[in-house]
Amino acid sequence: MRPSSRSEYLVRFICRGLESRSRPASRAFRTIPAVRTYCLVTNGRCLRGRIYNCVSNGDPVFGIKKSVLICLLTTNAGYKKKDIADRTPLEQYDYLVAIGQLRDDSFQRGIVSLLVDLHTAIKNYHPPPIEYPSIDDLKPKKGILGLLSRHKLHFQRRISPNDIPKGIYLYGDVGCGKTMLMDMFYSTIPATVLSKRRIHFHAFMQDVHKRAHALKVQHGSDFDSIPMLAAALADEARVLCFDEFQVVDVADAMLLRRLFEALVHHGVIFVITSNRAPDDLYRNGIQRQSFIPCIELIKERLHVICLDSPTDYRRIERPLKNVYHSPLDENAKDHAKLWFDYFANPRDPPHHVTHTIWGRELHVPKASGKVAQFTFEQLCGVPMSAADYLELARNYEAFVVTDIPILTLDNKDKARRFITFLDAVYESHGKLVATSAVPFSEILVDNSHDSGRPKEMDRDMLDMIGEMGLNNDTLKSLNLFTGDEEVFAFARALSRLQQMSSAQWVDAED
């Protein structure tokens, strides 16, 4: 299509869309403040001409660039997501701001500029071919022969660090936009340029342990699985994006130290989000000194950036009041039934389902189609691991959780399980409906009178959590958690619950 005719076609389509207020593109365009003001003052006169000048001549209209305008107003003409991998992170950020999905933030724009640099470097990056180690090299050998073999394997893997683009490590408070920025960056990496993988760190470690176990079963318990596993992971993805990176287990810490080193030697690029600065990872953990080399590697191979934007972007959307219900009155059962029926499949009557994970049975008391319903006791009152909740999140798109009680020191384990469940549902973009005794912001109560327990949390932590709008009683109740990681986890859970209660989240189609 000739440029002039393409411009005319776009203008005709755009203006037809603007006349139909039901179209998402039209609604988004009209919500831009400058456009809304213009339409109110002029009743939309000359709008066609201004759009035509932007499309044909490149003149910005209402402060919107031509590329963003076309992406914005041709959404329903078969252009949806068509060119997203051809945009830079900055162009994608401008687009999301223009359609009202993001608020423009000068600090975030500075971070986006660094993502643009990495995006450009990735497009010009030619990683070395993956060299898998031989099985014999990974089997235990005694004496000098074993040492020489391991040295040879290590040497073969190594490439010059200067040839690998530096990744990015984003850390900051709950709701500061870390995950949004990483996801936006990930969406703009063309899969034809480099293989990529985006995964929650919980799920990644679960996958790593499972595959390492399988290798040891196949080749013997003394088999060194890390080099083979690192080669396979690098072969699958040369860009790895980890969300919610944290280290809380000594086994994970020792495994990560070697795995990260091996992945870097294979030329893998990392983009990581975390609540913690690298130097605060695994703080006070067992054998932490052995994990320090991994921290140093992160600081050497990644640009470490603190996001201190004061806005919690997960709370921007207007809450959908009837997703969560409290208290546990006679209306609670009706609330749960209404939402279960809404998500259920009419052709699949509610029934009990049993899943098998790692040889164990995982019971779902009530399911229909892609919705599952539990009482709080069924979900968090029995021993359940992160793997169990991830399995549920993989199999269901919506969850109804009923009868959530006030959580005290007596049921702290249940609170931890509930937080893990929320993380799994959030990462899978699942829907959550709940009935609880009190609003979620008041769900934790410290019933301990032990004088040895801490009375105050760290001031910075209180400020961080206080920005989410929690009341003083809620802040005090966080002391029932004994570690900083748990406090961060609960704060993150509350912030995510805010986002998951929004109309945009519930109505979104993945």
- Please enumerate in sequence order all residues whose Cβ is within 8 A of that of 453, keeping only pairs 6 or more positions apart, or say none: 446, 479
Q: Calculate mean pLDDT across residues 193-210.
A: 90
Answer yes or no: do 372 and 441 share one domain.
yes
Element (H, E) at 363: strand 360-368
Confidence of residue 318 (pLDDT cuts 50, 70, 90): very low
Answer yes or no: do 202 and 166 share one domain.
yes
Confidence of residue 77 (pLDDT cuts 50, 70, 90): very low
Q: How far apart are CA 196 and CA 328, in angstroms?
A: 45
Full residue range of the structural domain in which residue 12 is found: 3-82
Nearest Cα to Cα of residue 464 among 315, 319, 312: 312
CATH of the domain at 199: 3.40.50.300
Q: Calculate mean pLDDT across residues 263-274.
A: 94
Tell whether the model's pLDDT for residue 404 goes beyond 50. Answer: yes
Tell whether the model's pLDDT for residue 396 goes beyond 90. Answer: yes
Answer yes or no: do 182 and 260 share one domain.
yes
How far from 183 is each of 123, 179, 294, CA to CA, in Å? 18, 6, 24
55 close to 10: Cβ distance less than 8 angstroms: yes
Q: How far apart are CA 381 and CA 375, in angstroms?
A: 9
Using N-to-C axis directions, what is the helix angle for 178-187 and 89-98, rounded to 10°?
Answer: 120
Where a domain ends, among 49, 82, 115?
Answer: 82
Answer yes or no: do 392 and 488 share one domain.
yes
108 close to 181: Cβ distance less than 8 angstroms: yes
Where a domain ends, among 253, 274, 307?
Answer: 307
Give me the number of domains the chain comprises: 3
Nearest Cα to Cα of residue 164 among 272, 303, 276: 303
User: Which of 242-251, 261-270, 485-494 is least confident?
Assistant: 485-494
Nearest Cα to Cα of residue 362 among 400, 392, 386, 341: 392
User: Which of 21-35, 296-310, 392-406, 420-434 is least confident?
Assistant: 21-35
Chain segment 466-506, per-residue pLDDT in tens? 444 444 444 444 444 445 556 677 777 778 887 887 766 77
Answer yes or no: do 241 and 330 share one domain.
no
Answer yes or no: do 385 and 490 share one domain.
yes
Specify if 92 maps to a domain.
no
Where a domain ends, among 286, 307, 328?
Answer: 307
Confidence of residue 202 (pLDDT cuts 50, 70, 90): confident
Chain segment 446-469, per-residue pLDDT in tens? 555 444 443 344 444 444 444 444
**Which is more confidently placed, 503 or 269?**
269
Specify if 414 maps to a domain.
yes
Average pLDDT along the chain: 76
96 close to 88: Cβ distance less than 8 angstroms: no
Tell me, what's the pLDDT at 398? 92
Confidence of residue 153 (pLDDT cuts 50, 70, 90): very low
Q: How far apart are CA 292 and CA 297, in angstroms?
A: 9
Specify if 100 maps to a domain.
no
Specify if 94 maps to a domain.
no
Answer yes or no: do 156 and 269 share one domain.
yes
Specify if 265 maps to a domain.
yes
Specify if 156 maps to a domain.
yes
**Which is more confidently placed, 387 or 65?**
387
- Number of residues in the chain: 510
Answer yes or no: do 495 and 387 share one domain.
yes
Answer yes or no: do 150 and 244 share one domain.
yes
Confidence of residue 24 (pLDDT cuts 50, 70, 90): very low
What predicted TM-score, i.e. pTM, was given to this entire model?
0.54
Q: Are strands 196-200 and 239-243 parallel, antiparallel or unpaired?
A: parallel
Answer yes or no: do 326 and 193 share one domain.
no
